[in-house]
């Protein structure tokens, strides 16, 4: 069974990192939150595949995952997809997110609460 890597409470990130991107259609905020996690994975050198196995996060994989967010945005019909594309190009070029987006990103990331 293929799991989502970053989105939703059953994602690899929710299971192993204790946080995930809120579920639902891709919008600017969720795309930025995904990019935040992509940067995190690139910096630490590993990520997850769809079977939730640890794999190497290469620069190429980072770029592919980041640009895939633009495609997801277009599929959902969000009117801010051009902004998502501009942000993706910025993140790929610089490896950072504008600090002014951190508030928006924190609202799109969900922390898993432990039951114990």
Q: 21 Cβ partners below 8 Å, 6+ apart? A: 6, 7, 8, 11, 13, 30, 33, 34, 37, 108, 109, 110
pTM of structure: 0.93
Instruction: Give the model's pLDDT for residue 1.
Output: 62
Residue 116 confidence (pLDDT) = 47
pLDDT single digits (tens) 65-104: 999 999 999 988 778 899 999 999 999 999 999 999 999 9
- Please give the Cα distance from 50 to 97 (Å, whole number): 25
Q: What is the pLDDT of residues 40-73, one digit of tens each?
A: 999 999 999 999 999 999 999 999 999 999 999 9
pLDDT at 76: 84
Give the pLDDT of residue 103: 97
- Asked if residue 114 has pLDDT above 90, the reply is no
Position 25 scores a pLDDT of 87
């Amino acid at each position: 069974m293929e799991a989502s890597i970053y989105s939703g409470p059953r994602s690899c990130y929710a299971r192993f990192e204790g946080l995930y991107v809120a579920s639902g259609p891709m919008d600017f905020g969720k795309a930025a939150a995904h990019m935040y996690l992509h940067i995190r994975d690139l910096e630490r050198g590993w990520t997850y595949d769809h079977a939730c196995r640890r794999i190497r996060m290469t620069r190429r994989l980072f770029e592919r995952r980041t640009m895939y967010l633009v495609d997801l945005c277009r599929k959902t019909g969000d009117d801010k997809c051009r902004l998502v594309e501009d942000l993706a190009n910025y993140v790929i070029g610089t490896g950072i997110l504008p600090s002014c987006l951190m508030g928006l990103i924190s609202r799109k990331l969900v922390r898993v609460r432990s039951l114990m």
